[in-house]
């Protein structure tokens, strides 16, 4: 079942439970090599979301600013994007370019992400693919202007969203998660993966 909302393509229930569990296991391996960090924005605010990444680049933010970086702040290269995760990209966008970054966001009970645009990538013709795991999240989607009207939808574990064409430049954010709505993650909360072409 595919939903199209303002250029966002939403695949509800794209990943079955077994695959979700295998991906969580893959992510444990990633987080061992590249531990989650709580990023600090250039203005000095701690983000409520914890982040890490896999692939040639990870997205980081600190006093220096926002950017894609070839290394975790610990100095090591990011681990490779696990095969089963990269396959989701191929399944939904086809075999154009492969993702160079899989950003991994962890939302504990009170975490959220303010309305923003993703514009640190070089080529906005390449889509972004999002994978939701764990607790449900209220995802807000707008348009290319901050002032554009927004629509919200609940994303559940196993849902995949493709942001291409017009929606690629859209403002978006996560208002809140509904803690305790999934038993996928042992401590609860939500993981969102976003695969991106960076260069
Ligand atoms: C629309 N993450 O990591 S995923 C992000 O659920 C981010 O963690 C949210 O926004 C999350 O930047 C939302 C959906 C998403 C991701 C990237 C986009 C929507 C997007 C890039 C362009 C347009
Ligand atoms: Fe984003």
CA distance 151 to 139: 8
pLDDT computed for residue 6 by the predictor: 85
**CA 148 to centroid of ligand 1, rounded, Å:** 17
Q: Dihedral, CA atoms, 56, 58, 64, 66, nearest 10 degrees? A: 120
Closest alpha carbon to 97 in 127, 77, 121 = 127
Please name which ligand lies nearest the alpha carbon of 164.
Answer: 1
Contact of 133 with 192, CB cutoff 8 Å: yes
What token pair was written down for 38?
A: 């709580």
Strand order in the sheet with 136-141: 113-116, 172-178, 136-141, 151-155
pLDDT of residue 194: 98
- Closest CA to ligand 1's atom 21: 118
Q: Residue 52: CB within 6 Å of ligand 1? A: no
**CA–CA separation, 130 and 163 (whole Å):** 8
pTM: 0.96
Considering only the C-alpha atoms of the chain, give the largest distance between any 2 of them, rounded to a whole number of Å.
43
130 ligand 1 Cβ < 6 A: yes
Strands annotated E in 72-189:
101-107, 113-116, 128-134, 136-141, 151-155, 160-163, 172-178
Q: Give nearest CA residue, ligand 1 atom 12.
A: 118
- The first and second tokens of residue 198, run together, are 């960076």
Q: Identify the pLDDT of residue 185.
A: 98
Task: Give pLDDT tens digits along the chain (199 positions).
Answer: 789 988 899 999 999 999 999 999 999 999 999 999 999 999 999 999 999 999 999 999 988 899 999 999 999 999 999 999 999 999 999 988 999 999 999 999 999 999 999 999 999 999 999 999 999 999 999 999 999 999 999 999 999 999 998 899 999 999 999 999 999 999 999 999 999 999 9
Residue owning the nearest CA to atom 3 of ligand 1: 194
CB atoms within 10 A of CB 64: 9
C-alpha distances in Å from residue 42, one per residue of 67, 84, 101: 11, 34, 21
Q: Quick one: which ligand is closest to 142's CA? A: 1
């Amino acid at each position: 079942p595919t939903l199209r909302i303002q250029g966002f393509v939403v695949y509800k229930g794209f990943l079955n439970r077994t695959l979700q569990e295998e991906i969580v296991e893959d992510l444990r391996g990633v987080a061992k090599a590249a531990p989650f960090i709580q990023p600090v924005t250039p203005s000095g605010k701690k983000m409520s979301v914890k982040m890490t990444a896999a692939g040639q680049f990870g997205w980081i933010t600190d006093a220096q600013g926002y950017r894609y970086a070839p290394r975790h702040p610990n100095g090591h290269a990011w681990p490779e994007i696990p095969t089963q995760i990269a396959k989701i990209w191929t399944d939904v966008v086809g075999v154009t370019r492969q993702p160079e970054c899989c950003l991994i966001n962890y939302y504990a009970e009170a975490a959220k992400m303010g309305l923003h645009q993703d514009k640190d990538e070089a080529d906005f013709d390449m889509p972004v693919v999002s994978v939701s795991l764990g607790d449900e999240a209220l995802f807000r989607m707008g348009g290319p202007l901050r002032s554009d009207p927004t629509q919200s939808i609940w994303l559940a574990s196993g849902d995949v969203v493709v942001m291409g064409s017009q929606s690629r430049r859209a403002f978006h954010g996560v208002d809140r998660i509904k803690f305790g709505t999934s038993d996928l993650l042992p401590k609860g909360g939500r993981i969102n993966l976003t695969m991106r072409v960076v260069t």
